[in-house]
C-alpha cells in the first residue's frame, strides 16, 4: 500500500488530470463529476470509485470537498486463482458508514505501520488483509444489493398474490396491480415472469378459473353467478376463457365430462 488517508480535493472543469502507477480506491464525500476511463460519472456522498493504474482521472466539483483515498499495488497471484470483478463506480447509499469504517481502519493501520519497528511485518500483513477485505466487500456489495432488491420485490409480489386472490370478484388494471406491489409496471412484469414463469394477466386468469372450478365442484351456484364471482360477468367471455384454460366448458367440468 502506497497511500491511505482522508484528503481534500478542489477541482473545476476537469482542469487537472490525475494518473498513478498504482491502483486507487476512493470514497467520495462530495458531489460533482468524475471523468474516469474516458467516461463521466456523477459523484455524490457515498460514491466509491476505483481508478486503475496508469488511467487518467479528472474532476469537476461545484465546491471543495474531501475523500478517502487508498493507493495500492495488486498482489501477484497465479493464473488459476479465483477472482472477482470490481466495478469502477459503486453507489453505496446507506452503506456509506460501513465503508468509512473500513477506510479509517486501514488508514490507522498504515499510520501504525509507518512508525513500527519489530512489528512491521505483522502490521504490513494486517494492512494487506484489511485492504483485501475492503476490495472483496466492494466486489460483493453490488451483488448483495441486487439480491436485496430482488428479495424486496419478491416480497411485494407475494403480497400481490394475496391481493389478487382477495379481489378475484372484480376487475383490476395492470396499473392498479403495479401500485399495490409498489413497483413500476415494467419492473413488475419482469419480476413476475421471473418468479412465476407466467405473465401477470395469465396468472390472474388462471386464479379466476381455479376459483371457478372450486365453485363448480363444491356448490350448486348457477354458472352465471360463478362467472360474476370470479370477476368475469360476461357469460360468453367466461365460457370461452374457462374452456381455453381448463380444456372443457364450465358445464362439462361440473358434470365431470371432457367437452
- Domain of residue 184 covers 167-259
Per-residue pLDDT at 257: 56
Cell 485492504 sits at which residue?
Answer: 131
Q: What is the mean pLDDT of the chain?
A: 88
Cβ contact 208:231 at 8 Å: yes
Model confidence at 109: pLDDT above 50:
yes
User: What are residue 32's DSSP bridge partners?
Assistant: 43
* Residue 235 located in a structural domain: yes
Per-residue pLDDT at 145: 57
| Residues, the chain | 259
Smallest Cα–Cα separation from 6: which of 77, 140, 146, 101?
101
* Residue 255 located in a structural domain: yes
Per-residue pLDDT at 258: 47
Question: Is this model's pTM higher than 0.85 or not?
Answer: no
What is the C-alpha to C-alpha distance for residues 103 and 142, in angstroms, rounded to an integer? 18
Q: 178 and 98, same structural domain?
A: no
Q: Would you state the cell numbers that stand for residue 251, as one nine-digit string?
A: 358445464
Element (H, E) at 90: strand 89-91
Domain count for the chain? 2
- pLDDT band of residue 259 (cuts 50, 70, 90) is very low
| Beta carbons within 10 angstroms of residue 144's beta carbon | 11
Per-residue pLDDT at 184: 87
Q: 179 and 94, same structural domain?
A: no
Model confidence at 52: pLDDT above 60:
yes
Three-point CA angle 218, 223, 229, nearest 5° = 80
Span 121-176, pLDDT tens digits: 888 889 999 999 999 989 888 666 555 555 556 677 878 888 999 899 998 888 99
What is the C-alpha to C-alpha distance for residues 259 and 257, in angstroms, rounded to an integer? 6
* Residue 159 located in a structural domain: no
Amino acid at each position: 500500500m502506497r497511500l491511505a488517508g482522508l484528503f481534500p480535493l478542489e477541482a473545476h472543469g476537469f482542469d487537472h488530470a490525475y494518473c498513478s502507477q498504482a491502483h486507487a480506491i476512493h470514497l467520495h464525500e462530495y458531489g460533482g463529476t468524475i471523468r474516469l476511463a474516458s467516461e463521466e460519472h456523477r459523484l455524490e456522498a457515498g460514491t466509491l470509485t476505483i481508478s486503475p493504474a496508469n488511467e487518467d482521472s479528472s474532476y469537476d466539483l461545484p465546491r471543495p470537498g474531501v475523500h478517502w483515498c487508498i493507493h495500492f499495488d495488486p498482489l501477484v497471484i497465479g493464473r488459476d486463482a479465483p477472482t472477482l470483478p470490481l466495478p469502477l463506480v459503486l453507489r453505496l447509499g446507506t452503506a456509506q458508514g460501513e465503508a468509512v469504517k473500513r477506510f479509517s481502519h486501514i488508514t490507522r493501520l498504515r499510520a501504525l505501520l509507518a512508525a513500527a519497528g519489530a512489528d512491521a511485518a505483522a502490521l504490513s500483513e494486517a494492512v494487506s488483509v484489511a485492504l483485501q477485505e475492503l476490495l472483496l466487500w466492494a466486489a460483493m456489495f453490488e451483488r448483495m444489493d441486487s439480491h436485496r432488491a430482488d428479495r424486496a420485490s419478491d416480497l411485494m409480489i407475494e403480497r400481490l398474490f394475496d391481493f389478487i386472490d382477495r379481489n378475484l370478484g372484480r376487475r383490476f388494471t395492470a396499473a392498479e396491480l403495479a401500485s399495490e406491489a409498489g413497483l413500476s409496471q415494467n419492473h413488475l412484469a419482469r419480476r413476475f415472469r421471473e418468479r412465476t414463469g407466467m405473465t401477470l394477466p395469465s396468472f390472474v386468469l388462471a386464479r379466476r378459473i381455479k376459483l371457478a372450478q372450486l365453485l363448480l365442484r363444491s356448490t350448486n351456484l348457477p354458472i352465471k353467478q360463478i362467472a360474476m364471482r370470479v370477476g368475469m360477468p360476461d357469460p360468453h367471455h367466461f365460457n370461452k376463457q374457462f374452456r381455453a384454460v381448463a380444456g372443457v366448458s364450465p358445464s362439462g367440468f361440473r358434470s365431470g365430462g371432457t367437452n
